[in-house]
Amino acid sequence: MMHNITLIYGDGIGKEVIASVKKIIDYSGADINWDIVEAGYSAQERYGTPLPDHVTDSIKKNRIALKGPVTTPIGKGFRSVNVALRKQLNLFANVRPIKSYDGVDSIHKNVDFVIVRENTEDLYSGVEHMVGEDAAESIKIITRKASERICRFAFELARKENRKKVTLVHKANIMKLSDGLFLNSGIKCSKEYEDIQFEEVIVDAMSMKLVQSPQDYSVIVAPNLYGDILSDLSAGLIGGLGLAPGANIGENIAVFEPVHGSAPDIAGKNIANPTSAILSGIMLLKYIGEVNRAETIEKALKEIFKDRAKCTEDLGGSLGTREFTQEIINQMKG
């Protein structure tokens, strides 16, 4: 079956890592018609906006996108493409699989869990104001609708991936109303999924437990802020951001992207590690039902990781982005 997928290279190393994953997916034989559009800094220069309407229209039409990181200049007048996409497409779930691979230097082995982060509210709603000159208030917004939606999403993901436990993270002992609502939404959902174990852990304790025994977790669901922080902490457990893929998912719509940024310091030098992008591509293939092809790529990647010489510099190897990509393709040839 042919799939139409929107492809956004993005800025900086986005061009290199997305070229890598596109080459690998094309080699896998998946029947994909890439609808290539431009967003970010390059779009700003060409169209006068970092997120032209035809880009969002393409994603709305195709329902699936693979996206590279985009540079967000600090300062006024340049909206964040990622925030705009999330809002316009209502991508309410941020999904970050955290998996360790043999051969990769990491603090922990045998880690395999997924963080499901609520992507639309909490302290990220942007409702802030000054109170006089010497105080500021940020409003934490938690709604029943968004909380139940994200908890249900986490349980559905657990079922689909045959995962046995959902851990909800909160601080309801202090924020009794907002986090209390989030927690109660999780408890309510858990009753509909009796085949899946449910537990709740307070976020500070969770931070310690994740560092000590990440193997205890399978699916973690959290409000926006805790999810943001725990996602990066978790990437650190398995070898860093260069190895963590991600997806932003809404109702029948999904945007897959590596979690790192455009890395201007190494852009254009053929040294970026495309693994995070490739793993995002693997998530995409699984999402569209191309599970066998996804597994073939993942298997090749696992083999490469066992031989450090075949890795990129950040993993202790000496290969460039393109050479590493070619190694994976050679490995897929079997």
Q: How far apart are the first and last CA of the chain?
A: 25
Polymer length in residues for the chain: 334
Give CB contacts under 8 A, 24+ apart, made by 207-214. Answer: 207/233, 210/234, 210/237, 211/107, 211/237, 214/98, 214/108, 214/111, 214/113
Q: Which residues are marked as active site?
A: 124, 171, 204, 228
Q: Which two tokens stand for residue 245?
A: 């893929």
Selected from 228, 257, 290, 327, the binder of Mg ion by CB under 5 A is 228
Smaller CB separation from ligand NAI, 94 or 178: 94
Question: What are the residues binding ligand NAI (CB under 6 A)?
Answer: 13, 17, 69-72, 82, 241-242, 257, 260-266, 272-273, 276, 314
| Contacted by 298, from Mg ion, ligand NAI, none: CB < 5 to 8 Å by type | none
| Contacted by 276, from ligand NAI, Mg ion, none: CB < 5 to 8 Å by type | ligand NAI
Residue 94 C-beta: closest distance to Mg ion, Å: 9
Smaller CB separation from ligand NAI, 70 or 237: 70
Q: Which two tokens stand for residue 157?
A: 């993901």
Residue 39 C-beta: closest distance to ligand NAI, Å: 9
Residue 128's H or E segment, with its range, is: strand 128-130
Residue 73 C-beta: closest distance to ligand NAI, Å: 7
Residue 221 C-beta: closest distance to Mg ion, Å: 17
Strand partners, 36: 7
Instruction: Classify the C-alpha dihedral 20-25-28-34 as positive or negative.
Output: negative
Q: Which two tokens stand for residue 226?
A: 């805790």
Smaller CB separation from ligand NAI, 17 or 89: 17
Report 19-48 residues binding Mg ion (CB under 5 A): none
- How far, in Å, CA of 210 to CA of 220, rounded? 11
| Contacted by 228, from ligand NAI, Mg ion, none: CB < 5 to 8 Å by type | Mg ion
Q: Phi/psi at 73 (nearest 5 deg)?
A: -60, 140
Q: Which residues bind Mg ion (CB under 5 A)?
A: 228
